[in-house]
Structure 1
């Protein structure tokens, strides 16, 4: 295993992917975790498996402005690029801010809408997000984090997300269901890749991406799709 510069692209890419995993596991309508910076990184070439990165970094809940939490993570990019990376992490402590009340309020508002939610362009063309759309925005970020984790390779770096549209689907069970059309910025190609994501969420069960697919951009035959 060799040490690598923590500011170099391979280290920040691995930490970013670990941050995506954390957001899918712990993110929601009132929490979004941001990687603050990599302090230590190592790389190991594992014959027959792939390249593994060990990274140490801080992560912060930017919605609730709590103190950064130290994190260690391992990211294994498999030799078979059709397989998703294996990401494991350990937080020094759990996020301190309790979002239970705000999550329940959001859930109640969505469950009792007279008309299911339908919205477009989040953020808008000026980069603004209406206050009542911010929980939807954070849910979309967390759901997109799952797509990033499933489709990342050692040659990609997925970062920012734009919601082209979101539609709420009425359900008879406890879950809220949202269908997102998003574009995810792939930094190595500078493309905004279009994805459709079906996400379920409720306060007790958390977030689950039920289905997703990459949408056609130019030639549909050039685009792949995967399902969870």
Structure 2
């Protein structure tokens, strides 16, 4: 057996968001605002008016979902038009929605075609389901639209990644956008990144009573990607291969520095 220290490094750029003091903050790291419709509209069943809250709320949830799948600092999906929709109760388990809508890339303002959200799996399809039960549960969304990938942004993504991966000074910014709605051009990818990151939160927190949008990124800071150290005890033989006997994650560097020295 060999007792070997192992260092693992996750080759990603690390960022943290800090809170913006506001009563409308729905997550400790991203400030967002919600728009509330009349309570009686929430439980609308059957064909929906595309301009009313039930259809708009459902479409917004689909937007969050598509951004979690296809979003980038250089690609953000927005709902352009809700064309039609319907809702129905599913026994006592929840409610499902079907929508027809069109979306566009918010950054380039390029339309990404009209497509249908339905249960027809021969087309681009999605299922939007709000479960009922004790405690809040995130909605279930199944959607895809490969047309969202036709805009080639690989070169832009790689350039941004390499710039901040090799930058000697870690980036930091506050208030994107500022109180006048202004964002410096070189900070726009990080504003988009904030929207993208918050899409995971907004998707998880969405209900039939919410309509989430990101209002502002209060602070974004690039973090140092610390190497994680492990100590492992393992055996190896040609017949049995590698077998791990013990593994222990060693303290972070700052934890080791705070620990009292012992003989």
TM-score by length of 1: 0.71
The count of aligned residue pairs is: 173
CA distance in structure 1 between the partners assigned to 2:145 and 2:209 by the alignment: 26
**Aligned residue for 2:232?**
none
Is residue 95 of structure 1 aligned with residue 149 of structure 2? Answer: yes
SS at match of 2:68: helix
- Could you report, residue by residue, the CA deviation over 1:55-114 in whole angstroms, capped at 9, with x for unpaired residues? 111110121232332232321111125210001123273332100000000001110111
Is residue 11 of structure 1 aligned with residue 35 of structure 2? Answer: no
Q: Could you tell me whether the CA contact under 8 Å between 1:21 and 1:149 is conserved in 2?
A: yes
**Aligned residue for 2:218?**
164
- Could you report, residue by residue, the CA deviation over 1:102-145 in whole angstroms, capped at 9, with x for unpaired residues? 00000011101111111101001110111111111111101111
**Aligned residue for 2:203?**
149
Which of 117, 129, 137 pairs up with 1:76?
A: 129
CA distance in structure 2 between the partners assigned to 1:43 and 1:15 by the alignment: 12
SS at match of 2:167: coil
RMSD, aligned α-carbons: 1.6
Which of 46, 66, 79 pairs up with 1:35?
A: 79
Structure with the greater alpha carbon radius of gyration = 2
CA distance in structure 2 between the partners assigned to 1:5 and 1:113 by the alignment: 50
CA distance in structure 2 between the partners assigned to 1:70 and 1:84 by the alignment: 26
> Structure 1, unaligned stretches of length 5 or more?
174-228
Q: Could you tell me whether the CA contact under 8 Å between 2:139 and 2:207 is conserved in 1?
A: yes
Which of 182, 188, 191 pairs up with 1:137?
A: 191
